[in-house]
Amino acid sequence: RKEVEQDPGPFNVPEGATVAFNCTYSNSASQSFFWYRQDCRKEPKLLMSVYSSGNEDGRFTAQLNRASQYISLLIRDSKLSDSATYLCVVNPLTGGYNKLIFGAGTRLAVHP
Amino acid sequence: EPEVTQTPSHQVTQMGQEVILRCVPISNHLYFYWYRQILGQKVEFLVSFYNNEISEKSEIFDDQFSVERPDGSNFTLKIRSTKLEDSAMYFCASSEIGSIEKLFFGSGTQLSVL
C-alpha cells in the first residue's frame, strides 16, 4: 500500500463549483498532515495544515479522520486560479525527524 | 517575503559527471532539506540537515549524494557521478526552529542528465 494515496484526477469543474479531494495514508502513527498546492513545474506551496477538529481558511476546508486514516480538502466557489495540483502531505515525525511524505497529487482544472 | 533561492534553475550534464546544486535557505532557518521530483511523479524526500549534520536520509540518498553547508548561507547538494535516472527537479527547503513542519521550498533546479 502506498504511504499516501490520492485520486490523480483530473477534476474538471466550472467556476463556482464545489470540489472535494480525498487522501488516505498508511502509517497510523503519522503526526501531522498538510495540503500543498503545486502549479505546473513549480515548487510545492503550503495551502493549509490539517487538524483533527477540522479547519477552514476562506473557501478551503480540511478534515482529518485518524480512525480511517483519511484526509479531505473541500474547495468552495472554485476560481480559475485554483487550477493546480493539490498534494496531500503527511509528516510521520518518526524519531522526531521532520520528513514530509507526499502523495502523487490530484489535478484540478477550473474552467469558465 | 523571505524566500529560498536555488541556482542554477536548469543544469544539463553528461552521465558520470559531478554536479553541485546550490541553495540559499531563509536566513533565520536552521533546518534544511532536499527533495526531488522526477517528471510526472511525486515529490520525494532525499535528506534533512540540522546543526551541520544529516538528520535523516532516504533510500534514494546513496553514496553518490552528499550535502554540505560550506558557509553561513549556502546549502549544497552534490551528486558525484550522475546517472540518467538522476534527471529530476531538485527542490531545496528550509524551516525555522519554532515551526519545523512549515517548509518553505525554493523554485527548484531542473537537472537533466544526458
CA nearest to A99 within chain B: B45
pLDDT per residue as tens digits for the range B50-100:
888 998 899 999 999 999 998 878 999 999 999 999 999 999 999 987 676
To the nearest whole angstrom, how far is the Cα of B24 from the nearest Cα of chain A?
A: 15
Query: Chain B residue with minimal CA distance to A36?
Result: B103
Contact yes or no for B107/B101 (Cβ under 8 A): no
Q: Name the band, by pLDDT with cuts 50, 70 and 90, for residue A70.
A: very high
Q: What is the pLDDT of residue A97?
A: 61
Facing residue for A103 by CB, picked from B42, B48, B101: B42
Query: How far apart are alpha carbons B34 and B54 in whole angstroms?
Result: 11
* Average pLDDT, integer, range A78-93: 93
In this prediction, what percent of chain B has a pLDDT beyond 90?
79
Residue B101 banded pLDDT, cuts 50, 70, 90: confident
Across the interface, whether the CB atoms of A102 and B41 are under 8 A apart is answered: no
**Chain A with chain B: Cβ pairs closer than 8 A:** 50
Q: Which pLDDT does position A94 carry in this prediction?
A: 64
Which residues of chain A have a CB within 8 Å of the CB of B5? none
Residue B114: CB partners within 8 Å, gap ≥ 6? Answer: B12, B13, B14, B15, B84
C-alpha cell at A50: 490539517
From the list A41, A44, A91, the residue facing B43 with the nearest CB is A44
Q: Quick check: B105 pLDDT over 90?
A: yes
